[in-house]
Amino acid sequence: MVRWGSRAARERDLARLAELIDRSSVAPVARARLESADPALVALARAIDRRLDSEAEREAARRAADERFREQLAALSHDIRTPLAGAQGYLQLAERATDEAERSRYLARAAERLGAMRALTDDLFAYARAADPSWEPELVPCDLADIVAGALAARYEAFAARGWEPDVRLEEAACVLAAPDELERVVANLLDNALAHGSGAPHVRMAGPALTVENPMGPDAAARLDPARLTERFYQGDPSRAGQGTGLGLAVARALAESMGGTLSVGVVAGEHPTFSARLELRPAP
């Protein structure tokens, strides 16, 4: 250590500090670690250390986000190609079929694959629009109970095919401030999520301007989920479900809810009988 107040020592310490800072541009995780008898220089070095640590954390988070986004794009590309390839295959079979009934069956299956493709592109468009900060939906008073009842009725056959009877409790005259089409999409996505990932009939509850949809899940399916990422774009907790959706359903629902001044919170209650829960809260209409 040098004597306090030594100009030569301070210049030496400053040169050493500059050298350490230059090194940090090559190795972002490097730290200043300056030893000096000058407390002002030590404080400066520690401040630089904190800044370097902060920049290193941001860089690590950015790289992780970039890697995750690349993985998501790869999965999305697969999800888009799968129904297209299926439709193309069935159309080729239909073209070669000599039996009219067989040909009709192939065409019907091709139409199913194209319908899946349409659903994927609809999800992408809905998310892009909802995530656009310049987009402002036109909000009007909406009957939340009526919209939920309509969405449930539209999925009656899907629930019946699984042998499920949703447990529903709605309130009358629950008027919320929302964009009708967007609210319908949010409710539909929550129910479709229950159909796609639930292991039993959902529980649908209303309390004022809030809607809760809960459904049981299998322990294995619940264990694969990262609760913090459930509303993340393209997130699919089960990689084996590739080709069965974009992983945008909850992301779209959350983005639309927030665009209407509401919130959507989701989570999984772990345990022997795990439960997925989604709670939509909107503003009451004046």
Q: Could you read off the pLDDT tens digit of each residue along the chain, which spans 286 residues?
A: 334 446 777 777 777 777 766 665 544 444 445 565 667 767 777 777 787 778 888 888 888 877 777 776 776 677 778 888 999 999 999 999 989 999 999 999 999 988 888 888 888 888 888 878 888 899 999 999 999 999 999 999 999 999 999 999 987 778 999 999 999 999 999 999 899 888 899 999 999 899 999 999 877 776 676 666 666 666 666 554 444 555 678 888 999 999 999 999 988 887 778 888 899 999 999 8
Compute the distance between CA of residue 280 and CA of residue 201 in angstroms, rounded to an integer.
19
String of DSSP letters for 189-224: HHHHHHHHH-SS--EEEEETTEEEEEEE--HHHHHT
Tokens of 25: 């541009």
CATH number of 72-130: 1.10.287.130
Predicted model pTM: 0.66
Tokens of 137: 């939906």
Domain ranges of the chain: 7-61, 72-130, 140-284
Domain 140-284, CATH homologous superfamily name and number? Histidine kinase-like ATPase, C-terminal domain (3.30.565.10)
Q: What is the dihedral of CA 148, 132, 60, 267, to 10 degrees?
A: -10
Say how many C-beta atoms besides its own lie within 10 A of residue 53's C-beta. Answer: 13
Q: What is the pLDDT of residues 9-47, one digit of tens each?
A: 777 777 777 776 666 554 444 444 556 566 776 777 777
Tokens of 18: 């500059």
Tokens of 79: 């999800």
